Amino acid sequence: MPTIVHDDATCIVVVKPAGLLSVPGRGEHLQDCVAIRVQSRFSDALVVHRLDMATSGLMLFARGAAAQRRLNIAFAAREVHKRYVAIVDGLVERSSGAIDLPLMADWPNRPKQKWDREHGKPSLTRYRVLARDEAARTTRLELEPVTGRAHQLRVHLLGIGHPILGDALYAPPEVQVRAERLLLHASALRFVHPASGAPMAFESAAPF
């Protein structure tokens, strides 16, 4: 069971482990997922957003269709704020910055995405260096996706030459093998409670 860090009559926040799907996949062997496990305890739990299977961290569920609709609107209006922690290959020079690379589906290589300045959708990620490991030639980053494209963080970091360690989908083989899992964790989540209007904030330390 994913770790439940908050539940009330309107919403649920859990910590998803790496390697577990957010929602069911195609086929009987891909039915185990965060959504099914949460719904086994809260029958009215509905998905609001997803994390990649390889990504761990905070995930938000609505209880009932009305709450889901309000939270979906908040996501669409960019009123839900998420931050991630990642460890990437190489030493990132600037202490902070933004990655502005339009993204689109890489159709011949689905489910991969790619950046394309002519046909891609606007995509923006802000980053801040948390630490540099000179010996290992890696950088720990805090990431804030302003937009929410599929695989945005993974493709954006690849696009600036700093793929995430353990990324089996995008990183070159020598970077994939530097970690046993994708070193990407949804570490912070802020939103307005869909019923009370109270500000909600949750944090989860990266397990790497």
**pLDDT (tens digit, 0 to 9) for every residue of the chain, 208 residues total?**
799 999 999 999 999 999 999 998 887 777 899 999 999 999 999 999 999 999 999 999 999 999 999 999 999 999 999 999 999 999 999 999 999 999 999 999 989 999 999 999 999 999 999 999 999 999 999 999 999 999 999 999 999 999 999 999 999 999 999 999 999 999 999 999 999 999 999 999 999 9
Strand 81-89 relative to strand 138-145: parallel, antiparallel, unpaired? Answer: antiparallel
Q: Is residue 197 part of a domain?
A: no
- The answer on 145 and 61 residing in a single domain is no
| Same domain (yes/no): 48, 105 | no
CA distance linking residue 33 with residue 52, whole number of Å: 11
Domain boundary, last residue among 46, 79, 112: 79
* Predicted pLDDT of residue 1: 78
Range of the domain at 10: 3-79
pLDDT of residue 25: 83
Answer whether 58's CB lies under 8 Å from 5's CB: yes
Q: In the prediction, which pLDDT does 98 show?
A: 98
- Same domain? For 106 and 157 the reply is yes
* Residue 96 near residue 128 (C-beta atoms within 8 A): yes
Kindly state whether residue 75 falls inside one of the protein's structural domains. Answer: yes
Asked if residue 93 belongs to a domain, the reply is yes
Residue after which a domain boundary falls, among 79, 101, 136: 79
| Same domain? 50 vs 122 | no
Residue type, 178: R
Q: Is residue 37 part of a domain?
A: yes
| Element spanning 176, H or E | helix 173-176
Are 84 and 187 in contact, with CB atoms under 8 Å apart?
yes
Indicate if 95 and 150 belong to the same structural domain: yes
- Say yes or no: 105 and 179 in one domain: yes
173 to each of 1, 130, 142, 177, how far by Cα in Å?
32, 25, 24, 6
Residue from 8, 32, 52, 106 carrying the catalytic annotation:
52
pTM of the complete model: 0.95
Q: Is residue 137 part of a domain?
A: yes
Strand 3-7 and strand 113-115: the pairing is: unpaired
Looking up tokens 């997922």 gives 33
Q: Do 67 and 7 form a contact (C-beta atoms < 8 A)?
A: no
Residue 13 sits in the same domain as residue 102: no
Annotated active-site residue 52? The verdict is yes
Instruction: For strands 124-133 and 96-100, give the pairing.
Output: antiparallel
Is residue 55 a part of any domain in this protein? yes
| 108 plus 71 within the same structural domain | no
Are 88 and 180 part of one and the same domain?
yes
The number of folded domains in the chain is: 2
24 with 65, same domain? yes
**Among 55, 79, 103, which residue terminates a domain?**
79
**Residue 170 belongs to a domain with what CATH number?**
3.30.2350.10
